[in-house]
Chains A and B, each alone.
Chain A
Amino acid sequence: MADEILFPSQAWVDEYCKKLSESPDYNKAGKGWKDPIMFTISDPDSLSERPEFNSFTLYLKDGRCEKCEMVRDENSSAPFVLTATYANWKKIIDGKINPTQAMLTGQLKVKGNMALILRYASAAIAMVKVAQMIPTRYIS
């Protein structure tokens, strides 16, 4: 079994970005998408092990991940910001909550054009499937 990678970490995000670009499902479903998305953990202080960074940004374009970065500046933003508690991110990645469902019910808070992100519901599902391919270690 491959070594588990901590979520979130630079290594996890690098692997995620690479695998997104390699995923035919995501390549197809993400076609037409043009904006970077910042993913944020809303409750890093409540975790047993505080992650080095509580946000990362993926530069997604036309079904590929062109670049990724951990976000150092707490004031930084992106055209789309998705925020959830660590527990909810874990549920989303594990497939226990559908990402569109999480957005519609406020478990995943969206800053940005809600209709546009809903439109890419199949891309969101493909992104979850790609995340599930990464051997992930979660903070307990």
Chain B
Amino acid sequence: MRGFWNRLLFVDLSHREIWTDSLSEDLWERYIGGVGLGAYLFTKYGGNFDPFSDKNPIIITTGPLVGTAFPNSGRHEVVSRSPLTTFLGESNSGGRFGFELKRSGLDGIILTGISDVPVSIFIDDGEFRIEETPELWGLDIYQTQDAIRKRGNYSVMCIGPAGEKRVLFSSIMNDEGRAAGRTGLGAVMGSKRVKAIAVHGKKIVEVNDRIEYNRAVKEASKSIMESPVVSGFRSYGSMIWMDGGIGFNDIPANYFMDRSFQFDDLSSIKFHEEYQVSSYNCAACVIGCGRTVRYNGLTVDGPEYETVAALGPLLGNTSFQNIVEWNHEINRLGMDTISTGVIISAIRHFLKAGLIDDAAIGSYYSDNFSGINRMIQDIAMRNGPGNAIADGLYRYATSLGIDRDLIATVKGLEIPLHDPRAFKAQGIVYATSTRGADHMQGDMYQIDIGGDHPDIGIVAGDRFSIDSDERVRTIIRTQDFRQVYNSLIICYYAQPDPDLIARAYSLATGFSASIRDLVDRGSEIINLKRKINEDLGLRPEEDWLPVLVRKPIEGEPQESGTTDEELISVLQRYYRLRGWGKYRPPQR
């Protein structure tokens, strides 16, 4: 077996012990790496424990392609029980951390226990140690990374004050502003009093057939670079969807209520014309969608599409200046920009609709959003009204008696910025995804504009059509395929021929697998994650989508909406085709 070290680092924080161990070879083959491996390790080391208990592990994994030159494979995955959803939490991130971790001679890290004082973990090319770092506690994520980098050439993963305060949607940040943002895993890291993990590695990852592997890498890189979408990402970052998405009505405005927004104000073209923007690549990336921007004399991380859409149209804000400032603040304090943006937008809508009557909260939105920065800080520090908001939209809104159909969450995770009325199959992915409303478990918005793979059963279709076996099979196959991406681990923006991905996997590991074999393993990974969720208390009615994002927007086609009946019918098909026959959709 190549492409792995078969070496996992175990850190028992309660007893301050640290050691490495291996797994049997068949497990590496079966679970691929990344999220597949992370889910398996969760079954072994986690369970139905409070997310903040010493028994809830944080599992950080790489994959068989990570640490090599395979394009866009410089990623790592974080898995734990999510304090936000209470189900299996998972999130992956780019930057250099995964690349450096793999090159340090480790495939992953499993943190268990709780430290009595704040600590950080240092990994130097395979040597590792736990250090007490109380001086870092309280620092923001940029200060933390700067402080650690003064001690060596490290890639740093860390939490900010929000993770320390256990904000339920806090992120684990790395390499400046890259984020394992979703499902609140920063709060789990904070509960363990782990401020940072610093890693530096320079070992060469051995692959099974170096010459042929390099050829596959070259072919994949060429194929990615020739993609028209990639040329757009390279020129404008992921923010290009602010221009591309409007043609499909994919960008929601005013808390998903309408599309009455001056989208011209937040065009990616305007941003690149008016701001001093630079691009950067994650490790092994051939695209370079990352952005930094000059702001108030500082170079800060530029906002991605999801962040611009959440803090712009969804909130009703047309100022890029605001978005750059808030994005920096949310990152700095260590929170998920999607969840934070959706929550801020939701509360504005609840205020306007008279569902909340609270002067302190209202003051955040006065004078053209002048209080939003303060609101972000209050949430991150759990100050005043921010304390309740820090528990996430679902808990906050239900505590106020707001109708569940008005709350933009699935399984407690805030809905991202691809509108289920633009691509109805995306809504089915949100409803059925194991981690909640999630565009990274199945990107039907890309598939249905033609980014399909018919050879593996992923076929583009009418974006308003979902209620047929053919369409549901494509949704399922897309979710399965993306488990493969999240396990190898590859960035979604890189879409070489799927056969090339399987070839690279086989050449790297020595495990012979076609892309169909890998996608079948992706299906097993989904089944495993579903089983874990059942053990954590998942009820079938959690597979649902609120009316908020199913009701057609005035002036848009009626067929863009999804009725209760249609959703139930599609869920029935989904369960049957997944082989989850015991499930019945909720009756409404």
Alpha-carbon separation in the docked complex, A121 to B249 (Å): 11
Q: Return the CB mask of B440-479 against A: 1 if under 8 Å, else 0.
A: 0000000001110000000000000000000000000000
Q: Is the pair B451, A114 in contact by a Cβ cutoff of 8 Å?
A: no
Instruction: Point out the residue from B243, B246, B450 that lies within 8 Å of A105, measured CB to CB.
Output: B450
| Chain B residue total in the interface (Cβ 8 A) | 21
* B235 interfacial by beta-carbon distance below 8 Å: yes
Tell me, yes or no, whether A23 is within 8 Å of chain B by CB.
no
As a 0/1 sequence over residues 112 to 152 of chain B, the CB contacts with chain A under 8 angstroms (1 = contact) are: 00000000000000000000000000000000000000000
- Report A100-121 residues with CB < 8 Å from chain B CB: 100-107, 109-110, 113-116, 118-119, 121
Pick the residue among A109, A113, A121 that contacts B246 (CB under 8 A). Answer: A121
Query: A9 in the interface, Cβ–Cβ < 8 Å?
Result: no
Least CB separation from A116: chain B residue: B269
Task: Report how far A100 CA is from B422 CA in the complex, Å.
Answer: 14
B231 contacts A114, C-beta separation under 8 Å: yes
CB distance from A29 to the nearest CB of B (A): 10
Question: From residue 123 to 138 of chain A, which have CB atoms closer than 8 A to chain B?
Answer: 124-125
Q: Which residues of B contact A121 (CB under 8 A)?
A: 244, 246-248
Chain A nearest CB from B222 CB (Å) reads 14
Q: Which residue of B lies closest to A113 (CB)?
A: B269
| B450 in complex: contacting residue of A107, A110, A113, CB < 8 Å | A107
B236 is an interface residue with CB less than 8 A from chain A: yes
Which A residues lie within 8 Å of B235 (CB)? 113-115
| Pair B247/A122 contact, Cβ less than 8 Å | yes
B225 interface residue, CB < 8 Å from A?
no
Task: Please pick, from B228, B247, B264, B268, the residue contacting A110 in the complex, using a CB distance under 8 A.
Answer: B228
Whether a CB of chain B sits under 8 angstroms from the CB of A10 is no
Contact with B along A79-110 (1 / 0, CB 8 A): 00000000000000000011011111111011
Cβ < 8 Å to A, chain B residues 207-266: 226-229, 231-232, 235-236, 240, 243-244, 246-248, 264
**Can you list 30 A-B contacts (CB < 8 A)?**
A97-B450, A98-B449, A100-B244, A100-B248, A101-B449, A102-B450, A104-B449, A104-B451, A105-B229, A105-B449, A105-B450, A106-B227, A107-B450, A109-B228, A113-B235, A113-B269, A114-B228, A114-B231, A114-B232, A114-B236, A114-B240, A115-B232, A115-B235, A115-B236, A115-B240, A115-B243, A119-B246, A119-B267, A121-B244, A125-B247
Q: If A100-B248, A122-B247 touch, does A115 touch B267 (CB 8 Å cutoff)?
A: yes
When A and B form their complex, which 6 residue pairs have the shortest distance between CB atoms, in order from nearest? A121-B247, A105-B450, A118-B244, A119-B243, A114-B232, A118-B243
Interface centre among A103, A115, A121 (most CB of B within 10 A): A115
Q: Report Cα–Cα, A119/B449, bound state, in Å.
A: 16
Distance between Cα atoms of A40 and B454 in the complex (Å): 28
Residues of chain A within 8 A (CB-CB) of B231 are 114
Identity of the chain B residue whose Cβ is nearest the Cβ of A103 in the assembled complex: B228
Which one, B269, B450, B451, contacts A119 given CB within 8 A? B269
Per the 8 Å Cβ criterion, residues 7-50 of B in contact with A are none
Q: Is the CB of B248 within 8 A of A105?
A: no
Q: What CA separation (Å) do A33 and B59 show in the bound complex?
A: 51
- Report which B residues bind A (CB closer than 8 A): 226-229, 231-232, 235-236, 240, 243-244, 246-248, 264, 267-269, 449-451
Given A114-B231, A119-B267, A119-B269, check contact A100 B247 (CB 8 Å).
Answer: yes
Q: Give the distance in Å from the alpha carbon of A98 to the alpha carbon of B227 in the complex.
A: 18
Are B240 and A118 in contact, CB atoms less than 8 angstroms apart? yes
Q: Which residues of A have CB within 8 Å of B243? A: 115-116, 118-119
Which one of B226, B269, B451 contacts A115 once the chains associate, using CB atoms below 8 Å? B269
Residue in contact with B228 in the complex, picked from A97, A106, A113, CB distance below 8 Å:
A106
Q: Is the CB of B449 within 8 A of A115?
A: no
Which of B231, B232, B451: most chain A Cβ within 10 A? B232
Collect the chain B residues with CB atoms within 8 Å of residue A109's CB.
228
Q: Quick one: closest B residue to A108, CB to CB?
A: B228
By beta carbon, the residue of chain A nearest B272 is A115
Find out whether the CB atom of B232 lies under 8 angstroms from the CB atom of A101: no
Do residues A118 and B247 form an inter-chain contact, with CB atoms below 8 A?
Answer: yes
CA distance A122 to B264 in the complex (A): 13
Alpha-carbon distance A118/B243, docked complex (angstroms) = 6
Measured CB to CB, the nearest residue on chain B to A32 is B264
Between B229, B247, B248, the greatest number of chain A beta carbons within 10 A of the residue's beta carbon is seen for B247
